[in-house]
Amino acid sequence: MSDDTVPASPAGGDATEEASDFIRAAVREDLKKGRYSYVRTRLPPEPNGWMHIGHAKAFMIDYYVALDFGGQCNLRFDDTNPEAEDLAFVEAITRDSRWLGLDCGDDRTFFASDYYGKLYELALKLIRKGVAYVDDLSDEEIRVYRGTAVPDKHNITLTPPGKDSPWRNRSVEENLDLFARMRAGEFADGSKTLRAKIDMAHPNLVMRDPVMYRIKRAPHYRVGNEWCIYPMYDFAHPLSDSIEGITHSLCSLEYEIHRPLYEWFIREAETFPSRQIEFSRLNITHTVLSKRWLKQLVEEGLVEGWDDPRMPTIAGLRRRGYTREAIKDFIDRIGIAKTNSMVDIQLLEHCLREDLNRRARRVMAVLDPVELVIANWPEGLVEELSAVNNPEDEAAGTRTLRFDGRLMIERDDFAEIPPPKYFRLFPGNQVRLRYGYIVNCTGFEKDASGRVTRVLCEYDPGTKGGNAPDNRKVKGTIHWVRAADAVPIEARLFDHLFLAERPMEVEPGKDWKEGVNPDSVQTRNGALGEPSLAEARLGESFQFERLGYFTRDPSDSEGRPRFNRSVSLRDTWAKIEKKQA
RNA sequence: UCCCCGGUUGUGUAAUGGUAGCACGGCAGACUCUGGAUCUGCUUGUGGGGGUUCAAAUCCUCCCUGGGGAACCA
């Protein structure tokens, strides 16, 4: 059946020498022992939701295992449940996986729904072999016959052996006739199913005569009303793999228990022997990677949408400013195993910082501005200063900054009474204005409410460019923008979506949604940036010096460019503050 | 209860019978025109008991413990 899809593809990737994980070890072993002569994997999304970083992990494993062994990877939409699926999701998933660099190509993009005809033929084959039958039991009856005790997980006392359906021993002819009539639409939805005839006393419940086809008059987003019976995952998935000549069908741990069934269908259908291997799915602290929960966050307005920058969706991460390189690096670092794990979100953030530190152009922006006046600055003088665009990348060059006696600085960078170890601006202290001059704080002004409105200082004309010719140590260097030409911007700062490390673990009686961090976004709409920020392109990352990495949001804020903080810089001062508190 | 799969430092992951390593985090320090970056050092780990062996994270056994399964979802 799969002969036409099996090329003599040489196995020669960089994972053939030594295994870096148990899956690659297994693949290499299969090749060595001649179980397969090539490697082909698949990305198996169901088009019923948005792709998140958990899917990205699975997809990257699928994709790069194939690549490492010189094989191919198919993108196959597992669309066998017409009630849940939609073309819009196909498009979103395709876009997101390509953005991640997982491009299987149009010629390697498939749909389980394309195989409905073939799957139907294989079902007929199983009926003829006497290993599938049409059952008249209702869903409720099937559950009872399976030997399921009580649906309440905490209240189950034992699992009795199942009981054969009274329709289990229909003749092949009758089954063939009934199945044809199911397909022809003669029976009501839910009134009959096609079941595999395996073993109703099997200790593995999924082997107790699983349902292969159900009657469901729902239009399918791709094949419309062509079918009123649809195959179940357990039947469709292994045989779709088989049809495509997939060698290694990699999936998450929850399918482990289905593997005997996966193998049973392929054996009985006598098709290409694809092999299923399971690994653990990704969990990350302070967030959730469950389609159902993410959907609720969106639907109940707890976030702005699927692409909200706080969401762990690929669309959300992209909007937040995550790069595909950072995500790939993260996935590589967490490894592949069968242990249920909870990865610290700080590792993800570390991967982003590392990538952006190397590539992001430095600019200055002030999130919460306060005026700084240089009292001894010559009236009317405007100077030009040279600033480095990226100290990690000489090729990024320099830019020119204009400087005069009226600047805006970060409110945090001035303290009327400095806390211990504070070495920025306070009366009597000197500080360097990045790329500008060393200034000495001489005073400040406050309004009636006690809020500082202006910081006063004097500059040392001998320190242009920030140099200290007399070699004096100036501990603090602060960022600034020139009041006269700063551009108004909005900056959004994000925190974890959930306060708790493990938001899925909800205290009894509490709603998990109470765990949503009420301060997961802070908007600074009075922020000011260097003039160049007005033309910031979408998708470009910047480091706002001393503040973090930012990227432009697709939307703006009343004409002001809106920037999302992708991740902050490592903040040693915050740690000191925290310790002092 | 039954069936299946796991437990290596705070977290993630190596070591496949032979020195328990790496990364992140954390802590301390050096350096620095970003309290960034970089660099150095430190950071109580093989769930427990028994067994096999010259030698066990690794093999056997019992126990403990975590996850998954019992949809006409995937």
For CA atoms A26, A32, A36, A38, the dihedral sign is positive
Please, are residues A104 and A138 in contact by the beta-carbon 8 Å criterion? no
Cα angle for residues A521, A526, A531 (degrees, 5° grid): 110
Q: How confident is the model at residue A223 (pLDDT cuts 50, 70, 90)?
A: very high
Q: Mean pLDDT for chain A?
A: 93
Distance A480 CA to B46 C1' (A): 53
pLDDT at A470: 87
Residue A32: inside a domain: no
Residues A104, A87, single domain; the answer is: yes
Tell me if A68 sits within 8 A of A15, measured CB to CB: yes
- A26 domain-assigned: no
Cβ of A421 < 7 Å from strand B?
yes
Strands A541-544 and A361-363: parallel
- The predicted model gives A201-211 an average pLDDT of 94
The predicted pLDDT at position A96 comes to 97
Nucleotides on strand B lying under 7 Å from protein C-beta? 1-8, 10-16, 23-27, 33-38, 66-74
Indicate if CB(A22) is under 7 A from strand B. Answer: yes
For residues A251 and A117, membership in a common domain is answered with yes
What is the model's pLDDT at position A158?
55
Q: Which nucleotide is nearest to A189 (CA to C1')?
A: B72
Judge whether A23 lies within some domain: no
- Say yes or no to pLDDT of A3 above 60: no
User: What is the spatial distance, in angstroms and rounded to an integer, between the CA atom of A12 and the C1' atom of B57?
Assistant: 32
Q: Return the residue matching tokens 């603090």.
A: A476
CB proximity A290–strand B (7 Å threshold)? no
Q: Is A465 within a domain?
A: yes
A244 and A379 in a single domain? The answer is no
Higher per-residue confidence, A283 vs A19: A283
State the average pLDDT over residues A97-118.
96
Residues A234, A295: one domain? no
Tens digit of each residue's pLDDT (9 = 90 or more) over A472-481: 889 999 999 9
DSSP letter (8 states) at residue A498: B
CA A441 – CA A369 distance, rounded (Å) = 17
Residue at A498 is within a domain: yes
Residue A13 in this model has a pLDDT that exceeds 60: no
Task: Looking at the structure, tell me whether residues A430 and A512 fall in a common domain.
Answer: no
Strand B near-CB residues (< 7 Å), A 229-258: 230-234, 236-237, 253-258
pLDDT of A117 > 50? The answer is yes
Subset of residues 74-113 in chain A with CB less than 7 angstroms from any atom in strand B: 78, 80-81, 84
Question: Of A427, A451, A479, which residue is a domain's last?
Answer: A479
Q: Is A424 found in the same domain as A442?
A: yes
In this structure, is residue A2 part of a structural domain? no
Lookup result for tokens 């249920």: A340
Catalytic residue among A46, A141, A174, A268: A46
CATH number, domain containing residue A540: 2.40.240.10
Regarding whether A374 and A495 lie in a shared domain, the answer is: no
pLDDT tens figures, A254-305: 999 999 999 999 999 999 999 999 999 999 999 999 999 999 999 999 999 9
pLDDT digits (tens, 9 = 90+) for A490-531: 999 999 999 999 999 988 788 999 999 999 999 999 999 999
Per the structure, the count of domains in chain A is: 3
State the CATH number of the domain containing residue A105.
Answer: 3.40.50.620
As a whole number, mean pLDDT of residues A108-122 equals 98
Percentage of residues in chain A having pLDDT higher than 90: 90
pLDDT of residue A339: 95
- The answer to whether residue A218 scores a pLDDT higher than 60 is yes
Query: Pick from A121, A131, A80, A81: which is nearest to A271 by CA?
Result: A121
- Catalytic residue, candidates A216, A291, A359, A454: A291
pLDDT band for A150, please (50, 70, 90 cuts): very low
Q: Residue A148 above 90 pLDDT?
A: no
pLDDT digits (tens, 9 = 90+) for A356-395: 999 999 999 999 999 999 999 999 999 999 999 999 999 9
Is A281 among the residues known to form the active site?
Answer: yes
Name the closest residue (CA) to the C1' of nucleotide B32.
A475
**In angstroms, how far is B25 C1' from A575 CA?**
13
Query: Of A279, A300, A329, which residue constitutes the final position of a domain?
Result: A279
Same domain, A378 and A468: yes
- Residue A370: what pLDDT? 98
Q: Residue A397 domain-assigned? A: yes
Q: What residues have CB less than 8 Å from A458, skipping those under 6 apart?
A: A374, A375, A376, A439, A440, A442
Answer yes or no: is A467 CB < 7 A from strand B. yes
Report, as an integer, the average pLDDT of A26-53: 96
Nucleotide nearest to A112 (CA to C1'): B74
Domain boundary among A249, A279, A309: A279
Residue A134 lies in a domain: yes
The reply to whether A130 and A259 lie within a common domain is: yes
Residue A32 CB: number of other CB atoms within 10 A? 10
Whether residues A252 and A392 fall in one domain: no
Q: Are A69 and A18 in contact (CB under 8 A)?
A: no
Q: A190 and A50 in one domain?
A: yes
Q: Are residues A135 and A255 in the same domain?
A: yes
> Which residue segment(s) compose the domain that A193 sits in?
38-279
The pTM (predicted TM-score) of the whole model is 0.94
Report CA(A501)–C1'(B21) in Å, whole number.
28
Picking from A70, A118, A49, A491, the residue whose alpha carbon sits closest to that of residue A311 is A49
Choice among A98, A118, A125, A281 that is catalytic: A281
